[in-house]
Amino acid sequence: NIQLGLRGEPIVKLGPVGGPAPYIFGSVNTKGDTNFVAAGLAWKVNAGPVYIRPGIGLAIHNGPKERYAANGNRTDLGSRVVFEPEIGVGINVAPRVSVEANWTHLSHATLFNGEQNPGLDMIGAGVNIKL
Protein backbone atom coordinates (compact mmCIF):
# COMPACT_ATOMS: atom_id res chain seq x y z
CA ASN A 1 0.00 0.00 0.00
CA ILE A 2 1.00 3.58 -0.58
CA GLN A 3 -0.19 6.02 2.07
CA LEU A 4 -0.30 9.79 2.20
CA GLY A 5 -1.67 11.84 5.06
CA LEU A 6 -1.63 14.88 7.29
CA ARG A 7 -1.13 15.19 11.04
CA GLY A 8 -2.16 18.30 12.93
CA GLU A 9 -0.75 19.95 16.02
CA PRO A 10 -1.79 18.60 19.43
CA ILE A 11 -5.24 19.79 20.49
CA VAL A 12 -4.60 22.01 23.54
CA LYS A 13 -8.15 21.62 24.90
CA LEU A 14 -7.59 17.85 25.06
CA GLY A 15 -4.57 18.34 27.34
CA PRO A 16 -6.24 16.41 30.19
CA VAL A 17 -6.15 13.27 28.00
CA GLY A 18 -2.59 13.85 26.77
CA GLY A 19 -3.18 16.42 24.02
CA PRO A 20 -3.64 14.11 21.03
CA ALA A 21 -3.17 15.40 17.49
CA PRO A 22 -5.70 14.79 14.70
CA TYR A 23 -4.69 12.87 11.59
CA ILE A 24 -6.16 11.83 8.27
CA PHE A 25 -4.64 9.63 5.60
CA GLY A 26 -5.49 7.62 2.54
CA SER A 27 -4.11 4.22 1.60
CA VAL A 28 -4.09 2.82 -1.95
CA ASN A 29 -3.39 -0.85 -2.58
CA THR A 30 -1.06 -1.17 -5.58
CA LYS A 31 -2.57 -4.56 -6.54
CA GLY A 32 -6.14 -3.22 -6.77
CA ASP A 33 -7.30 -4.69 -3.46
CA THR A 34 -8.74 -2.78 -0.48
CA ASN A 35 -8.17 1.00 -0.36
CA PHE A 36 -9.24 3.15 2.59
CA VAL A 37 -9.34 6.60 4.18
CA ALA A 38 -8.81 6.93 7.94
CA ALA A 39 -9.00 9.75 10.49
CA GLY A 40 -8.43 9.84 14.21
CA LEU A 41 -6.30 11.04 17.10
CA ALA A 42 -2.69 10.12 17.94
CA TRP A 43 -0.50 10.78 20.96
CA LYS A 44 3.22 11.44 20.47
CA VAL A 45 5.38 10.32 23.39
CA ASN A 46 8.94 11.65 23.07
CA ALA A 47 12.03 10.03 24.58
CA GLY A 48 14.83 12.20 23.22
CA PRO A 49 15.04 11.95 19.44
CA VAL A 50 13.00 8.71 19.54
CA TYR A 51 9.22 8.69 19.93
CA ILE A 52 6.24 6.37 20.07
CA ARG A 53 2.97 7.42 18.44
CA PRO A 54 -0.11 5.35 19.35
CA GLY A 55 -3.38 6.33 17.70
CA ILE A 56 -6.99 5.34 17.23
CA GLY A 57 -9.38 6.28 14.46
CA LEU A 58 -12.06 5.16 12.06
CA ALA A 59 -11.61 4.09 8.45
CA ILE A 60 -13.90 3.73 5.46
CA HIS A 61 -12.77 1.13 2.92
CA ASN A 62 -13.81 -0.15 -0.50
CA GLY A 63 -13.04 -3.84 0.09
CA PRO A 64 -15.54 -6.47 -1.06
CA LYS A 65 -18.75 -6.88 0.93
CA GLU A 66 -18.18 -10.65 1.07
CA ARG A 67 -14.98 -12.55 0.32
CA TYR A 68 -14.10 -16.18 1.09
CA ALA A 69 -10.78 -18.00 1.33
CA ALA A 70 -10.28 -21.38 -0.38
CA ASN A 71 -11.11 -23.10 2.94
CA GLY A 72 -14.51 -21.34 3.09
CA ASN A 73 -13.60 -18.83 5.83
CA ARG A 74 -14.80 -15.28 5.29
CA THR A 75 -11.95 -12.83 4.78
CA ASP A 76 -13.85 -9.59 4.16
CA LEU A 77 -13.76 -6.85 6.81
CA GLY A 78 -17.45 -7.27 7.70
CA SER A 79 -18.38 -3.59 7.75
CA ARG A 80 -17.71 -0.62 5.48
CA VAL A 81 -16.65 1.49 8.51
CA VAL A 82 -14.02 -0.07 10.79
CA PHE A 83 -11.78 0.88 13.70
CA GLU A 84 -8.22 1.87 12.82
CA PRO A 85 -5.77 1.50 15.74
CA GLU A 86 -2.15 2.19 14.93
CA ILE A 87 1.25 2.60 16.52
CA GLY A 88 4.43 4.11 15.16
CA VAL A 89 7.99 4.21 16.46
CA GLY A 90 10.17 6.90 14.99
CA ILE A 91 13.27 8.98 15.24
CA ASN A 92 13.72 12.68 14.49
CA VAL A 93 16.50 12.96 11.89
CA ALA A 94 16.25 16.72 11.30
CA PRO A 95 14.26 19.59 12.88
CA ARG A 96 11.31 18.99 10.51
CA VAL A 97 11.88 15.36 9.43
CA SER A 98 11.37 12.01 11.11
CA VAL A 99 11.53 8.41 9.94
CA GLU A 100 8.95 6.01 11.34
CA ALA A 101 8.11 2.29 11.41
CA ASN A 102 4.39 1.71 11.90
CA TRP A 103 1.64 -0.85 12.28
CA THR A 104 -1.96 -0.14 11.23
CA HIS A 105 -4.92 -2.43 11.82
CA LEU A 106 -8.45 -2.32 10.37
CA SER A 107 -11.18 -4.23 12.19
CA HIS A 108 -14.78 -3.99 13.37
CA ALA A 109 -13.86 -5.68 16.71
CA THR A 110 -16.73 -8.20 16.28
CA LEU A 111 -19.26 -5.40 16.90
CA PHE A 112 -21.01 -6.00 13.57
CA ASN A 113 -20.57 -9.77 13.37
CA GLY A 114 -19.69 -11.79 16.47
CA GLU A 115 -18.55 -14.78 14.42
CA GLN A 116 -16.38 -13.06 11.81
CA ASN A 117 -13.61 -10.47 12.19
CA PRO A 118 -10.45 -11.26 10.23
CA GLY A 119 -9.16 -7.67 10.20
CA LEU A 120 -6.37 -6.28 8.06
CA ASP A 121 -2.84 -5.55 9.32
CA MET A 122 -0.21 -3.43 7.63
CA ILE A 123 3.40 -2.92 8.70
CA GLY A 124 5.38 -0.23 6.97
CA ALA A 125 7.85 2.60 7.08
CA GLY A 126 7.44 6.23 6.31
CA VAL A 127 8.98 9.67 6.27
CA ASN A 128 7.24 12.54 8.06
CA ILE A 129 7.87 16.12 6.98
CA LYS A 130 6.61 19.01 9.11
CA LEU A 131 5.16 21.72 6.87
The pLDDT tens digits of the residues spanning 76-89 come to 787 889 999 999 99
The pLDDT tens digits of the residues spanning 59-76 come to 999 988 888 889 887 777
- Mean pLDDT of all residues in the chain? 91
pLDDT value at position 21? 97
Rounded Cα distance between 27 and 5, Å, is: 9
The residue ranking higher by pLDDT, 70 or 117, is: 70
Burial label, 38 (beta-carbon count in 10 A; 0-12, 13-18, 19+): buried
